[in-house]
Amino acid sequence: SVEPVGALKPGGKIGPGDERFRKMLVFVQFSTTIILLVTTVVMRQQTQFMRSKKLGFEHDLVITMPLFDLDREREPDFAQHLSYRYESIKSAFLSHPNVLQASAYRWPPGINKGMIRLLESEEKQVQIPVLEGDEGFVELFDIPLVTGRNFRPYAGYTDVGELLINESAARLIGWSDPVGKPLNGRDFRRPSIVVGVVQDFHTERLSEPVGPLAIFYRIDVFRHLGVKIRPQRVEETIAFLQDTWMQFLPERPFEFAFLSEEIHDLYRTESETARVVGAFTFLALLVGCLGLFALCQFSAERRRKEIAIRKVLGAGTMRLVFCLAGESAFWVLAANIMTWPVAYLLMERWLQNFPYRMELDISIFALAGFVTLGVALLTTSSQALKAIHANPADVLRNE
């Protein structure tokens, strides 16, 4: 005969200590999964934040082309020879209606902050990065001019060079009105004066804050030629650029890149790291589900007589599922509540490495809870339904 009280008691040879160990193991597995899941989401959002943040200059539809190999820079009279041809090819590019602006420069902004140089004013000496560009540099990248003027077009060698500085450089030197003041470098070939101040803009990755910067007009150090094109008929415009290039520089292969893509690639490391963490998150979630599945199976086996009695007494399917899956869901929910503060502190500390960063939002942690709890319920419910659908007569016959 069946003893109802005995049927409702947990059975099996595994003791309470082993059961507690299984539950704690599931708790630890899902806690690890939650931290990894939050890390993946935060890394992806921070990378997207940096890629989408305004840099202070325009780089969309800007095509940059290397003018020569770096080793040719050492050839006698190469710079002077190149300066004449660069003006010709630049004018030819601008003759096309789809080419809006053109400029030559040493390095484009956004991917290279330039060379650090010691500059001397009447007030102090400062070490700041220096970019080189022609009169089209500011217009090509649409860098706002705060005060003063842009470079004048090249009209032959002059005794005084021209500089543009940004607002941070003016503050560093202590100038309230920098226009017209001398600012010389030890490796400059001639005295130079500041002709204008531009708005601060980013010259490298957003992991570095905006700093002081000077833009020097020199036509003998240009390494790249850049053009801004219209969004219409891009392939046709590139074909025109290539044909024109081969007319003026037949000894140099035509190579080009969209500056926006090069800036986008600066954050490839963060994207790859997020992808690796995402893979580990998936594995951790899979291991957690396997542990939860085993725990639910163990619980269902121990309580199969109880389930059979409840089913005979008229308990519904949903109530029986909750009876079996509720305890597992509780441990997953507890893992979320106890792990969220840890994940928050870890991500907050990681984000402190970025001067420009996203803000942590409760939705990130809610997403982690929704995913882990949803997967846990699916895992345990499937095993619970299998136990519930067993024939009570077959289960109780073995007693």
Spans of all domains in the chain: 4-52+267-397, 68-251
H helices of 136-267, in order, are 137-140, 167-173, 234-248, 259-265
Phi-psi region of 205 (alpha: psi -120 to 50; beta: other; left: phi over 0): beta
Question: 281, 286, 277: which is closest to 378 by C-alpha?
Answer: 286
Q: For the segment 272-308, what is each residue's pLDDT rounded down to a tens digit?
A: 888 898 898 888 888 877 777 776 666 666 666 666 6
DSSP bridge partners of 225: 65, 104
Q: How many helices (H) and strands (E) does the chain have?
A: 12, 11
1 has pLDDT over 70? no
- Asked if pLDDT for residue 245 goes beyond 60, the answer is yes
- Whether the pLDDT of residue 230 is over 90: the answer is yes
Half-sphere exposure (CA, 13 Å, Cβ side) for 52? 8
pLDDT number for residue 229: 95
pLDDT over 90 at 192, yes or no? no
Query: What pLDDT, in 10s, does the model give residues 65-80?
Result: 988 655 555 454 555 5
DSSP symbols for 96-132: STTEEEEEEESS-TTT---EEEEEE-SS-EEEEEEEE
Distance between alpha carbon 164 and the CA centroid of its chain, in Å? Answer: 31
- Residue bearing the bigger pLDDT, 206 or 23: 206
Total Cβ atoms within 10 A of residue 397: 10
**Which residue would you say has higher pLDDT here, 3 or 20?**
20
Q: How confident is the model at residue 5 (pLDDT cuts 50, 70, 90)?
A: very low
Q: Which amino acid would we find at residue 51?
A: R
List of residues 6+ apart from 122 with CB closer than 8 A: 181, 182
Is pLDDT larger for residue 77 or for residue 345? Answer: 345
Helix, strand or coil, per DSSP, at residue 204: coil
For the beta carbon of residue 91, count every other beta carbon within 10 angstroms.
11
Q: Is 83 exposed, middle or buried (0-12, 13-18, 19+ CB in 10 A)?
A: middle
Predicted local confidence at residue 69, as pLDDT: 58
Secondary structure (3-state) at 59: coil
Residue 4: burial class (beta carbons within 10 Å; 0-12, 13-18, 19+): exposed
Question: ∠ CA(126), CA(131), CA(134), 5° rounding?
Answer: 130
Note the pTM of the prediction, 2 decimals. Answer: 0.74
Query: Which residue has better confidence, 369 or 251?
Result: 369
Burial class (CB in 10 A: 0-12, 13-18, 19+), 369: buried
Give residue 286's identity as a one-letter amino acid code. L
Strands 125-132 and 115-120: antiparallel
Top pLDDT among 304 and 202 is at 202
Tell me: pLDDT of 265 over 80: yes
Whole-Å CA distances, 357 to 2, 269, 331: 66, 16, 33
Spatial separation of the C-alpha atoms in residues 164 and 108, rounded to whole Å? 15
Q: How far apart are the first and last CA of the chain?
A: 8
